[in-house]
């Protein structure tokens, strides 16, 4: 481990590691969950809409006529800020629920679109159909009261009948954003947890409240901007964006911390009609960036190429392989993660214009007492892809699980969340 800490110090010096703990709140969504747009739904692992604003001001970027890219746009936090600046923007995410949410936040709505949304009336409640039958989802009967579940299905049918796409998508988003709120389950850790008490919130009431809140928020974003959101895998990047076209990119990729987005958003994905079978769910899981153990761990890696990616990565993996880990696939998961991120950073470099700016929010983790310095390793990969490294700003020290804490106690300061600042 001494060898590893020595190597880490070398990298920290080389990449100009600085601290700005005032940014702590901006890298974490939960601190801002009551703000407009961020209060639409409980999006895990998102950052604040204000962090892109900070980045633009911090680097004094002249954003006039700039094109902005968030290749992992999630709930659309950065796209909202992009729109407030009137930036032409592109968002990409593999999760169809995230893309609908992002698009709904940044769409421009005509008076007619808004009228349809405002005048949408709730369907009449009737308890006659067995809506459960069409679901393959094993948890379906446990998630809601029978009444709420019927109401959800009736709302879905009524929304589906709307012809105007923007209004339909807005109301669909409204419904999906109310699901967890009215469910007997809630997001917790890396999945869903049963609430202590049966949830008595009525989905019709919550839907109406949410609709008004969302209408008020989109009224705040009056700037005109062309924004496209692509529900695509980042590995098809080259087909979406031409080389040398992006002035500014700010994003947070999945962290290699075993968090599975497709597990946590199960309610939204199934009930929102984004997936209809376990096969589909599996396909999504297997095509997302390999940041958790449900991803496709059977992919082959060129070991020689992996070893040459980064000394720090190689050293970390060789130490990790000697530890007792709670899952034997962790080294493979990490190898694939950095392998894929390396490929992505190389493609990103081609898309960024000369003098363009990139900010990457990333969190470190630890397995078997070994710290995984994702901030340093990704910076190393970015530098080798051609980027200039301005600095790495440490924004906060993360909480690690108590079990991991015991193992890592003297190395705990490595478990942090940072912003990597690059330019071309
Ligand atoms: C840390 S989150 C981004 C959160 C976002 N910054 C926000 O504030 O909501 C990472 C995102 O990467 C997406 N993702 C994972 N694998 C992907 C892939 N292969 N292609 C595109 N997006 C992917 C996930 O669906 C997730 O929304």
Q: Does ligand 1 lie within 6 Å of residue 74's CB atom?
A: yes
Q: Residue 50 above 80 pLDDT?
A: yes
pTM for the full predicted model: 0.95
Cα 374 from Cα 351, distance rounded (Å)? 23
Q: Does ligand 1 lie within 6 Å of residue 42's CB atom?
A: no
Cα 28 from Cα 26, distance rounded (Å)? 5
Write the CB contacts of 382 (distance below 8 Å, at least 6 apart in sequence): 345, 349, 358, 360, 389, 420, 422
User: 402: pLDDT confidence band, cut at 50, 70 and 90?
Assistant: low
Of all protein residues, the one whose alpha carbon is nearest to atom 3 of ligand 1 is 74
Q: Does ligand 1 lie within 6 Å of residue 77's CB atom?
A: yes
Q: Does ligand 1 lie within 6 Å of residue 289's CB atom?
A: yes
Q: Does ligand 1 lie within 6 Å of residue 27's CB atom?
A: no
User: 405: pLDDT confidence band, cut at 50, 70 and 90?
Assistant: low
pLDDT tens-digit map of 299-320: 999 888 888 999 999 999 999 9
Q: Does ligand 1 lie within 6 Å of residue 47's CB atom?
A: yes
Longest dimension (CA), the chain: 68
Measured from the Cβ of residue 122, the count of other Cβ atoms closer than 10 Å reads 14
Measured from the Cβ of residue 299, the count of other Cβ atoms closer than 10 Å reads 13
Ligand 1 pocket mutation pick from 29, 39, 55, 94 by most atoms within 8 angstroms of CB? 94
From the CA of 94, how far away is ligand 1's center (Å)?
7
Q: Does ligand 1 lie within 6 Å of residue 75's CB atom?
A: yes
Q: Does ligand 1 lie within 6 Å of residue 288's CB atom?
A: yes
Of the candidates 262, 312, 304, which has an alpha carbon nearest to the alpha carbon of residue 283? Answer: 262
Q: How is residue 144 written in tokens?
A: 């809601």
Q: Residue 158 above 70 pLDDT?
A: yes
From the CA of 73, how far away is ligand 1's center (Å)?
6
Cα 37 from Cα 246, distance rounded (Å)? 25
pLDDT tens-digit map of 133-156: 889 999 999 999 999 999 999 999
Q: Are 335 and 226 in contact (CB under 8 A)?
A: no
Q: Are 74 and 102 in contact (CB under 8 A)?
A: yes
Cα 42 from Cα 283, distance rounded (Å)? 24
């Amino acid at each position: 481990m001494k060898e590893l800490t020595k190597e880490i110090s070398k990298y920290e010096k080389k990449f100009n590691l600085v601290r700005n703990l005032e940014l702590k709140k901006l890298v974490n969504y939960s601190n801002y969950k009551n703000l407009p747009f961020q209060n639409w739904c409980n999006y895990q692992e998102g950052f604040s809409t204000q962090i892109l604003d900070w980045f633009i001001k911090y680097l004094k970027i002249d954003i006039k006529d700039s094109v902005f890219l968030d290749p992992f746009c999630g709930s659309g936090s950065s796209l909202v800020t992009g729109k407030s600046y009137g930036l032409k923007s592109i968002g990409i995410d593999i999760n169809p629920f995230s893309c609908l949410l992002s698009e709904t936040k940044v769409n421009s709505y005509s008076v007619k679109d808004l009228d349809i949304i405002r005048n949408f009336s709730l369907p009449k409640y009737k308890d006659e159909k067995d809506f459960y039958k069409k679901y393959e989802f094993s948890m379906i009967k446990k998630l809601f009261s029978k009444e709420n579940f019927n109401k959800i299905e009736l709302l879905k049918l009524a929304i589906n009948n709307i012809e105007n796409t923007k209004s339909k998508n807005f109301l669909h988003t409204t419904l999906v954003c109310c699901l967890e709120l009215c469910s007997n389950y809630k997001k917790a850790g890396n999945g869903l947890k049963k609430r202590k008490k049966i949830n008595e919130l009525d989905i019709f009431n919550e839907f109406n409240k949410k609709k008004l809140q969302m209408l008020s928020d989109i009224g705040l974003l009056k700037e005109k901007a062309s924004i496209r959101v692509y529900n695509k895998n980042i590995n098809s990047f080259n087909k979406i964006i031409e080389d040398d076209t992006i002035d500014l990119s700010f994003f947070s990729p999945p962290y290699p911390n075993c968090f599975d987005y497709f597990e946590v958003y199960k309610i939204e994905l199934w009930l929102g009609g984004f997936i209809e079978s376990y096969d589909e769910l599996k396909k999504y899981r297997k095509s997302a960036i390999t940041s958790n153990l449900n991803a496709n761990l059977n992919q082959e890696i060129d070991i020689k190429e992996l070893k040459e990616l980064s000394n720090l990565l190689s050293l970390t993996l060789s130490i990790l392989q000697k530890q007792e880990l709670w899952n034997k696939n962790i080294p493979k998961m990490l190898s694939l993660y950095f392998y894929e991120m390396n490929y992505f950073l190389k493609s990103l470099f081609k898309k960024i214009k000369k003098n363009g700016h990139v900010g990457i929010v990333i969190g470190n983790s630890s397995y078997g007492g070994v710290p995984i310095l994702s901030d340093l390793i990704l910076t190393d990969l970015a530098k080798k892809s051609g980027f200039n490294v301005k600095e790495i700003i440490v924004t906060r020290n993360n909480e690690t699980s108590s079990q991991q804490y015991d193992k890592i106690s003297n190395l705990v300061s490595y478990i942090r969340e940072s912003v990597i600042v690059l330019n071309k």
